[in-house]
A and B are shown apart, each in its own frame.
Chain A
Amino acid sequence: MTANASKNKRVSMLAEFYGSIMLIIIGVIVTVIVSLFFGGLGFWNVFGFVMIFAGFANIIFGLISEKLPNPNSTLRGGLLIFFIGLACLISFLPHILLGTIQIMTLILTLIGLGVTIIGVYQGLKK
């Protein structure tokens, strides 16, 4: 890796880190405003929670990929799907009539978990 390429990678990782932090902060602000406006936890929180969870998925990917010999996009995708699925599941769980969408987001979360495991497996390969 040339010095320039290494520097570019560093810059892009930094941008990703601070981008994720910003995403989380915006997500928190959205969640707080929507929660106060609608009152409590419910489907209305889905947008804010997705932002927060996606931000954390990105940061966790950055931290894990450092430890893996072969970081890959499958792992990143898996983490994102898993965390976004979780965000949706939490938002929809309080509502008894949203069983269908709860099952769908549970399936999404499980798919995300599966893809993450595949990603970790591939990442461990040298």
Chain B
Amino acid sequence: MKLSKNQKIILALTLVFALTAPTVSLITPYARGQGDLTYIIPLEDYLRNDDIAAIRLVNTLLEENVTVHWAMEPFTVGGVAYPAGTFYIETPFTTRNNISSDVFMEWFMWVAKTNRVLRVDTTTEKITVNSTTLVTPRVVLFYDKSTYDNAINHYERFLSLGFKVKLATADSMVGVWWNDTAHPLYDANVFIMPGGALHLWSFGWGDEATWAIQNITEWVYHGGGYVSVCAGSSEALNSTKTTYTTLDLVDADYHREWFDDTLAPAGYGANEWKALIGPILISVEAPEHPVMFGYGENAVRPGYGPLVPLYYYGGPAYTDMGENITVLGNYSAPISQNLAAAGIANSIWGEPAIIAAQRGNGRIVAFGPHPEWPGPGARLHAQAVFWVAQKRVDTSFLDPASTMYNPVEITYSRVNSILSTIDAVMPYLESFTRTATAMVNLRGGDHYNPAGMWFDEVVMYYGLKLTEHLTTLKRDAVKFQYEYYKLNLLRSSVSAKTQAVIDYALALIDSFFNYSESFPVDNHFIDDSDWTGNVFAPYIGDAADFTDLLGLFIFIENETVELLYPSAFNYTREYYRVYNEILSLNRTTPSLTPDNATLIRWGFDPSIYAGSNITTLLVDFYANITAVWPAGPLYKMYYMFYHTLDICQFKIDQFLLNMITIGDRIRDVTSYLDHAIAMEVGAWAYAVAEWQAAVYQPAGALT
């Protein structure tokens, strides 16, 4: 090709133009981590930064004892304005595993870029804004009956935000003082009470229950943090005002009248709040409060303001509030609810939905709606945790007992006991989930219907979640075996300081497999029968280790197929559909008196009910279905669901979640450790070790 004069000019111009590419690449700031800099994470840059990932990074820094500042006011540095709520980190520092900030922040910048936190600003200027130094949150999640699916939702949300959650069953909180090392709250600074209902009943009755409940109150009073959602918030209120047992943390009542059965005719269970289930809009009342940073009138992120959509599921709207309470947000408007059915619950609008309070030295944030559900609530929830976490707790419950170099091999048999169990479990879990899905498809478990069974969806949800959790663990087991092998290979090539971190990581990986080989004892009692008179198949006993889980999966699969599905089928046919038929007639012809044949078909004794009108039949039918003692068909269904769900929650998923938490910590540690090692030995020497490990552990290398 011979170039003409014009083509030569074009080529020359293109050459000059092409130079802009490397020039822009080199002059735009990509902070390398070295030097004394201040790193600023702009959460409001929603195009470049995912705020959940950014908070996860902050939590990883906090776990390593890195000081993270939380700006309480807006500030400007280097000509860039940052709003209140911005996080920044000053260097130099040394992490608790003795890694220098030069190395750690180099990793930080890499992991930020690969986790959609694309913009981290740096400055050499000293930031002088009024800020708070974050305390590492040590989070305990109440994990007990009635929190079933909501506990999972909470756990997963906190996992994504980088909080390392310790699960606390009611049994573990009973019979021991709050300041005793055996109490789950001893080495914690935030207690999370999820949604559900009647959590406090999990503590049983009598003095022991009073003691357990008082323990939580005392712990908060002495500087603990309490973050609650929905029913967990109702339980934080004043017991004198609410007239039932509560934790007495917040001097307020809630609109109990919305939970009364007041729609005419009274007595058929049409609680009005059910009509409000769904997404609602929250107005931000205190945008200057740390919990609400980033939300409200001036919110930049879509969905964060002026009105914030959050999910509502019957949480409290607060009233009769005393001192030391700040209203953070009000219920503002519905999104898709049928307000005509909501009756007086319409008065929810304008009432407090989210409050922050002080009790002694402790702080409380109580959410009426659900910030842990998908939507813009993640940052809100995380900020609530950061705000209430005040007490410094330097040790993590995940730290291995010993970090001395102990080359216990992660043998194939250790890994295989997890993998083969999961493979063996899957057909049963699949059948369990399929049966639960069929149960949901009966349409007898309607949350909006006073005679709905409710927990069928939760059983199905457990089927799906257990599958997810087992899949995560399968991936983790092979990944950690590979990581262990690789770190062992590299151990002799690095400095003594890095060797110590490798030992810590190896001990952590070992603790993951140790946990799977010896599950802690769970005191939750699974009975073969309950006080409703139902008799379940004989319970086979708790799993002592991961391989024992197979028996439990076979048990719940059998129970779902043999007991739950037929019972749900009969309940739906004999009670739920008949109830709906009468309910429907009550709307059109309430004074109708059905003939005897119809009464018999509906299950009424004609000698008693002949001549009764539809409204009377509706109220009586509802009363019969929902009788608590002796238990009516609805409660019998509930207890059958509870039986299966208790096994899912306490005897299976509790152990899986604990393993996932250890795995999450391992992923964090190996991530920065790999980077630190590669910086020490060089990229290519590190790559050679990767390949060497991949030859021996190919599955882990590819995971």
A residues lining the B interface (CB < 8 Å): 13, 16-17, 21, 24-25, 27-28, 31-32, 35-42, 44-45, 48-49, 52, 56, 59, 62-63, 65-66, 94-100, 102-103
Contact = CB atoms under 8 A, between A and B. Distances in A.
B684 A35 contact: no
13 contacts: A17-B7, A24-B18, A35-B25, A40-B29, A41-B26, A48-B21, A56-B18, A96-B686, A97-B675, A97-B678, A97-B683, A99-B685, A99-B690
A6 B685 CA distance: 54
Contact of B26 (A40, A65, A98, A100): A40
Interface in B6-62: 7, 10-11, 14, 17-18, 20-22, 24-26, 28-30, 48
Interface string B662-703: 000000000000110011001111111011000000000000
B33 to A, nearest CB: 11
A21 B679 CA distance: 39
Given A39-B28, A40-B29, A66-B2, A32 B675 contact: no
A38 B678 contact: no
Given A37-B118, A100-B687, A31 B10 contact: no
Contacts of A31: 21-22, 24-25
In the A-B complex, the 4 residue pairs with the closest CB atoms: A40-B30, A99-B687, A99-B683, A62-B1
Contact of B118 (A24, A27, A38): A38
Contacts of A16: 1
Nearest to B47: A37
Contacts of A28: 17-18, 20-21
A96 B34 CA distance: 14
A28 B18 CA distance: 6
A17 B684 contact: no
B684 A99 contact: yes
For A16, A25, A35, A42, the residue with the greatest tally of chain B CB atoms inside 10 Å of its CB is A35
B110 interface: yes
Given A21-B11, A99-B678, A42 B21 contact: no
Contacts of A62: 1
A29 B691 CA distance: 36
Contacts of B110: 95-97
Contacts of B678: 96-97, 99
Contacts of A95: 110, 683
Nearest to B2: A66
A37 B29 CA distance: 11
B34 to A, nearest CB: 13
Contacts of B3: 17, 63
Contact of A35 (B28, B682, B688, B691): B28
A53 to B, nearest CB: 10
B28 A100 contact: no
B651 interface: no
A38 B678 CA distance: 23
B29 A102 contact: no
Contacts of B25: 31, 35, 40-41, 45
A102 B688 CA distance: 12
A42 B113 contact: yes
A17 to B, nearest CB: 6
* Interface footprint category on B: 35 or more
Contacts of A99: 678, 682-688, 690
Contact of B675 (A27, A42, A96): A96
A36 B686 CA distance: 30
Interface of chain A: mostly helix, strand, loop or mixed: helix
A65 B1 CA distance: 7
Contacts of A24: 14, 17-18
B138 interface: no
Contacts of A98: 683
Interface in B84-138: 106, 110, 113, 118-119
Given A32-B21, A52-B21, A100-B687, A21 B10 contact: yes
Contacts of A42: 30, 113
A40 B28 contact: yes
A97 B686 contact: yes
B80 to A, nearest CB: 14
Contacts of A17: 1, 3, 7
Nearest to B694: A100
Contacts of B29: 39-40
A43 to B, nearest CB: 8
A32 B674 contact: no
A34 B135 CA distance: 36
Contacts of A32: 20-21, 24
Contact of A59 (B11, B30, B690): B11
B28 A49 contact: no
Contacts of B106: 96
Contacts of B22: 31, 41
Contact of A25 (B11, B17, B118): B17
A111 B369 CA distance: 61
Contacts of B685: 99
Most chain A CB within 10 A, of B2, B683, B684, is at B683
A11 to B, nearest CB: 12
Contacts of B26: 40-41
Given A96-B678, A98-B683, 5 more contacts: A28-B20, A31-B22, A36-B28, A59-B11, A97-B686
Nearest to A34: B25
User: B1, B7, B110, B690: which has the most chain A beta carbons within 10 Å?
Assistant: B1
Given A25-B17, A97-B678, A97-B686, A39 B118 contact: yes
A52 B21 CA distance: 9
A28 B25 CA distance: 10
Interface string B579-612: 0000000000000000000000000000000000
A25 B683 CA distance: 32
Contacts of A25: 14, 17
A55 to B, nearest CB: 8
Nearest to A106: B684
Nearest to B1: A62
Contact of B21 (A38, A49, A102): A49
Contacts of A27: 18, 21
A57 B675 CA distance: 35
A22 to B, nearest CB: 10
B23 to A, nearest CB: 9
A93 B17 CA distance: 23
A117 to B, nearest CB: 21
Contacts of B17: 24-25, 28
Contacts of A35: 21, 24-25, 28
A63 B1 contact: yes
Nearest to A93: B683
Contacts of B687: 99-100, 102-103
A97 B7 CA distance: 42
Nearest to A32: B24
Contact of A13 (B1, B18, B686): B1
A36 to B, nearest CB: 6
A59 B11 CA distance: 9
A28 B2 CA distance: 25
The interface centre, meaning the residue of B21, B118, B119 with most chain A CB atoms within 10 A of its CB, is: B21
B443 to A, nearest CB: 48
